[in-house]
Amino acid sequence: MPSRDLLSRPRRPRRTPGLRAALAAVSGVVLTVAAGCTAGPPAAAPAPRTAPPQPAFRQPRELVARNGALKVRLVVESRMVRLAGRRVRAMTYNGDYMPPTIRMRPGDRLDLDLVNRLSEHTNLHTHGWHVSPTGDSDNPYLHIAPGETYHYTFRVPGNMAPGTYWYHSHAHPNAEPQVFAGLSGAIVIDGLDRHLPRGLRGVTRRLIALKDFQLDGDAIRTQDIDSGAPTTRTVNGLVDPAVPIRPGETQLWRLANLGADIAYNVWLEGVRFHVIAQDASPVSTVWSADTLLMPPGSRFDVLVQGPPAGRTRLVTLPYGTGPDGDSYPGATLATLVSSGPAMTPARLPARFAPYHDLRGEPVARRRTVTFSEDAGTGRFFIDGRLFAPDRIDARAKLNTTEEWRLRNASREEHTFHIHVNHFQVISVNGRPYPARGGQDTVQLPAGGEVVIRMRFLDFTGKYPFHCHILNHEDRGMMANIEVVP
């Protein structure tokens, strides 16, 4: 059974059914018992419905840096796309609901033209990147107006951590509808191979990008979004694709929640996830879990090994975010199809990458940051204030370490995220947390608290921290920090 650790393996929500019942709900299995008899001939059986064929797994195309540079043109527009077996209107990058993956190496340069063909402003955020938050780099305060083209220049540091990142709209106060309608895609920074044993450096890699949508007629809903309403879950824009693997084969999966609001409680039947990076921060010690809690924005790079021949479901189990939050039902995300000649399972590493533990750092300042909400008005607050883009809510000095107590005064979970720098989780609800690496998202328990430490490295300027449930961010749960020399 999953442990109670909120950060790695989720707490069960109240009134969650047992595992067997949950799996029945995921599969849509209904058991009926017939009793008695009826006079006369039986009613004619309805004609069987033909199930749509299961789609083959596929990954979005990749835009790969060459000779230290990559030039990208992303056109943002509303388009009709093929999704879940029907034509629907979505917001797209280059005409795709599941847009291209940007793939680079530490030290590369990205020149990106964002062309806005929407009827509202937008922008682009490279989530998790340790780059400048100002000017034409990862500046979330930009408003790119309809009809405008904006040129971004990102200089990826040579020490950028390898792993899975993502890009998405950060256009306040329209981040939720734009991401929910499709404006999110994956980024991969290569380099995890150098920490893997030589025999695992050429294994198959798969992006498992989780996105979800609801329809309003023939369009993805962009107004009055209720994340607790019936929602279609997709992997790389596909509903329940068949993912091939050989028995015993080791694959590297890049699990990424690229959605706006919904948490995923991911479980692969009978197969454990061996985590080598979390939020694009390689771990010091490889750790294993049967379930992974993935709030919006979170990512895990994991090793999985093929089960015996047959079909195995990748599911999201039922999950609740608290008395005032949402209850998400279970759903099948994909089907792992194990076939072909069996392989001898590789020996997996125990130690992985070096990590600087901030528990030994001198702390320049301690802060308490409180997340709260007014359920009656649907407003969300940090330290009792709604977001104001021009207000500085906190100042920190470059190259110092701070400790933040993230207090959740509400009756639902919130997902803390800060731009530019990773942080280390120190404790959850007063219990020490055995961090194996950094993170850029963490789930705050309802009515509880999480203590983190972070070091403000390399970059000065203003950037936000916020709840990454984008409905909460858009409705006020965001604040600004300014890092000064």
Residue 3 lies in a domain: no
Domain termination site, one of 176, 192, 208: 192
Separation CA 271–CA 257 (nearest Å): 20
Which residue range is the domain that position 165 belongs to?
Answer: 62-192
Are residues 375 and 285 part of one domain? no
Residue 318 lies in a domain: yes
- Cβ neighbours of residue 150 closer than 8 Å, sequence gap 6 or more: 113, 114, 116, 123, 136, 142, 144
Give the pLDDT of the chain (485 residues) as one tens digit per residue: 343 334 443 333 333 334 434 444 444 332 222 333 333 333 444 444 555 689 999 999 999 999 999 999 999 999 999 999 999 999 999 999 999 999 999 999 999 999 999 999 999 999 999 999 999 999 999 999 999 999 999 999 999 999 999 999 999 999 999 999 999 999 999 999 999 999 999 999 999 999 999 999 999 999 999 999 999 999 999 999 999 999 999 999 999 999 999 999 999 999 999 999 999 999 999 999 999 999 999 999 999 999 999 999 999 999 999 999 999 999 999 999 999 999 999 999 999 999 999 999 999 999 999 999 998 899 999 999 999 999 999 999 999 999 999 999 999 999 999 999 999 999 999 999 999 999 999 999 999 999 999 999 999 999 999 999 999 999 999 999 999 99
Instruction: Say which DSSP state 199 is in.
Output: G
Give the Å distances, CA to CA, from 337 to 57, 193, 265.
10, 26, 21
Separation CA 296–CA 301 (nearest Å): 16
Domain termination site, one of 175, 192, 209: 192
Residue 208 lies in a domain: yes
Are residues 334 and 200 part of one domain? yes
Number of domains within the chain: 3
- Cβ neighbours of residue 466 closer than 8 Å, sequence gap 6 or more: 382, 387, 416, 417, 472, 473, 477, 478, 479
CATH value at residue 213: 2.60.40.420
Q: What is the pLDDT of residue 164?
A: 98
Q: From edge to edge, which strands make up the β-sheet containing 449-455?
A: 379-382, 365-374, 401-408, 449-455, 424-428, 431-432
Q: What is the pLDDT of residue 53?
A: 82
Are residues 91 and 110 part of one domain? yes
Q: What is the pLDDT of residue 399?
A: 97
User: CA-based angle 214:183:333, to the nearest 5?
Assistant: 50
Q: Structure tokens of 396?
A: 């920190």
Q: What is the pLDDT of residue 473?
A: 98
Are residues 183 and 78 part of one domain? yes
